[in-house]
């Protein structure tokens, strides 16, 4: 796999991880069923005439499992970087998953550069939100990076 293909596969995995974690949050889907659903029916598949990019399945699994396993730690980290008066409960559910995934990578995937992590989740934020919310995600992830990657 070329670096470009690997990069695209990881980008697709990140987007899918945000979607999977959103599903867990909204529906409480059990992890093994969630992973099966994404492996068999979503990653690299066509859904409603939309072709989904092939995703790095191992990377997808790592991010999803890692966020779930370290959720309390990640949530505390993200909460500490929100403006006074803001809480995780006030955040849009999709934004919360973007921040959780980004924070997980910053914490646990030191093999990936801070700039890469932030840039990738900014791209995900732009897929769902306007520039103002994407800027918010950038600010929170940048502050988290300073906390965990000194």
Instruction: Walk me through the domains of the chain, giving residue ranges and CATH numbers.
Output: 3-148 (1.10.940.10)
Task: Label residue 1 by pLDDT band (50, 70, 90).
Answer: low
Q: pLDDT at residue 80 above 70? A: yes
Task: Label residue 40 by pLDDT band (50, 70, 90).
Answer: confident
Task: Label residue 5 by pLDDT band (50, 70, 90).
Answer: confident
Q: How far, in Å, CA of 104 to CA of 68, rounded?
A: 10
Confidence at residue 63, expressed as pLDDT on a 0 to 100 scale: 98
pTM of structure: 0.92
- Nearest alpha carbon to residue 106 among 59, 143, 81: 143
Confidence at residue 50, expressed as pLDDT on a 0 to 100 scale: 59
Work out the average pLDDT over 72-87.
94
Q: Which residues pair with 47 in a beta bridge?
A: 50
Confidence at residue 25, expressed as pLDDT on a 0 to 100 scale: 93
Q: Is the dihedral of CA 142, 6, 56, 40 positive or negative?
A: positive
């Amino acid at each position: 796999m070329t670096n470009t293909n690997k990069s695209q596969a990881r980008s697709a995995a990140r987007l899918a991880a945000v979607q999977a974690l959103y599903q867990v949050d909204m529906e409480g889907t059990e992890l093994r069923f969630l992973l099966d659903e994404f492996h068999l029916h979503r990653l690299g598949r066509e859904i409603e005439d939309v072709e989904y990019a092939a995703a790095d399945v191992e990377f997808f699994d790592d991010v999803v499992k890692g966020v779930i396993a370290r959720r309390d730690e990640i949530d505390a980290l993200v909460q500490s970087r929100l403006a006074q008066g803001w809480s995780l409960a006030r955040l849009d559910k999709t934004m919360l998953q973007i921040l959780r995934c980004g924070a997980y990578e910053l914490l646990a995937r030191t093999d990936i550069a801070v700039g890469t992590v932030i840039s990738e989740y900014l791209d995900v934020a732009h897929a769902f939100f306007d520039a103002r919310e994407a800027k918010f995600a950038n600010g929170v992830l940048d502050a988290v990076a300073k906390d965990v990657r000194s």
